[in-house]
Amino acid sequence: MEKVAFNVQEIRKEFPFINRKVNGKKLIYFDNGATSQKPQSVINRLTNFYTNENANIHRGVHTLSQEATSAYEESRINIQQYIGAKHSHEIIFTKGTTDSINIVAFSFGEHLKEGDEVIISAMEHHSNIVPWQMLCERKGCRLRVIPMNQAGELLLDEYSNLLSSKTKLVAVTHISNALGTINDVKTIIEKAHQVGAKVLIDGAQSIQHTKVDVEALDCDFYAFSGHKLFGPTGVGVLYGKEELLNDMPPYQGGGDMISEVSFERTTYNTLPHKFEAGTPHIAGGIGLGEAFHFLNSLDIDQVEAHEKELLDYATMRLKKIEGIKFYGEAKNKTSVISFLVEGTHPYDVGTLLDKMGIAVRTGHHCTQPIMNFYNIPGTIRVSFALYNTKEEIDLLITALDRIIPMLKN
């Protein structure tokens, strides 16, 4: 597909939220780590589906059902090609990252037995902690954690020490939602494979910011959410290597995931249907395909360069604020800045910024272990997407310059 040269002003025209006002001010949206805004093409695709194409999939002989099925399956192929998977049936539609991780923890987890070990890292989202704790409790396995340094970088030597023949699965985030750290997942995967362990990468914060090629990475599973990469909520993907998915028991039982059912015995459908019980989020899957179409029209390296420029510029400007402390200063990081300002509470800063039309996140960002590590209750998080600009960062700085003295008095 031909790529359009990156031009932030042109991109902004594709996102109708740009015209939104909040509290009488032009909205500045810096909460992209939580969810992204949607381009008009994705919104139109959803509307068009419900207006003209709505039918259930994989079941009907009638035209509408066949059209809906084709659109859904084309979307799967779009995603497969974008992330470099070998087969489209390695793309399982799920509810999102959380759902994808739970599928692996439950289904792949059925292979684990007492004494086996699962490794996660110190910077995981709760979604990539709790399912593994539940698995370990169920199976009598041990959960081990790769530590990190003060800058928010994983200690890979310590990781090597944790790995052994007992390690069955390593589950690590590609990019930290709270710190912005880009982890060296290629090395993490290689090391895990050396001891025969499989690897799940939590890609919730990755595909919208950087190139992801699952074959080149050689990860065994890759999980992500549609809503964070300009697609709809309630839909996401679990990528898994064919042989592993084939070898895993289904996660849920129901329609579409079966081959034959009798009261005595049921046989299961082939991939990807074995893991897609019941009527899926059809419009969501189709809308997600459109989001990938949007991403594919851009050169992701140029997107990454733009976001790096935003990160460097914002960091430089924020550094000049007296009493500011950053959390997450990894050498290799992406467009997330977590910080606190001495003498102020993050919640108050977030609330006053909202009064000025600026949306940021405050709190623990579903990463309480990170907050415990730094011994803080939470941070203010500014997270950029491809449609953000330096002018918006200037307005954030002006707003902070007004707010902070007010809160300190």
Could you confirm whether 366 is annotated as catalytic? yes
Identify residues 79-118 at the interface with ligand PLP (CB under 6 A).
96-98
Measured from the CB of residue 281, what is the shortest distance to ligand PLP in angstroms?
13
> Which residue from 118, 122, 179, 204 is in contact with ligand PLP, where contact means CB under 6 A?
204
The residue (of 98 and 379) whose beta carbon lies closer to ligand PLP is 98
Catalytic residue, chosen from 136, 141, 219, 366, is 366
Peptide bond into 131 cis (omega under 30): no
Strand boundaries in 141-219, DSSP class E: 142-146, 167-173, 198-202
> Which residue from 107, 167, 173, 183 is in contact with ligand PLP, where contact means CB under 6 A?
173
- In single-letter form, the type of residue at position 316 comes to M
Q: Which stretch binds ligand PLP (CB under 6 A): 108-116, 199-207, 336-344, 400-408?
A: 199-207
**DSSP result, 101-116:** HHHHHHHGGGG--TT-
Measured from the CB of residue 110, what is the shortest distance to ligand PLP in angstroms?
22
Residue 129 contacts residue 155 (beta carbons within 8 Å): no
CA 160/CA 112 separation, integer angstroms: 21
Contact call for residue 338 and ligand PLP (CB under 6 A)? no
Q: State the number of binding residues for ligand PLP (CB under 6 A).
A: 13
CA 295/CA 133 separation, integer angstroms: 35
CA 58/CA 274 separation, integer angstroms: 13
Contact call for residue 369 and ligand PLP (CB under 6 A)? no
CA 342/CA 96 separation, integer angstroms: 36
- In single-letter form, the type of residue at position 99 comes to D
Identify residues 269-308 at the interface with ligand PLP (CB under 6 A).
none
Identify residues 119-158 at the interface with ligand PLP (CB under 6 A).
125, 127-128
Contact residues for ligand PLP, defined by CB under 6 A? 96-98, 125, 127-128, 173, 177, 202, 204-205, 225, 366
Indicate which residues carry an active-site annotation. Answer: 366
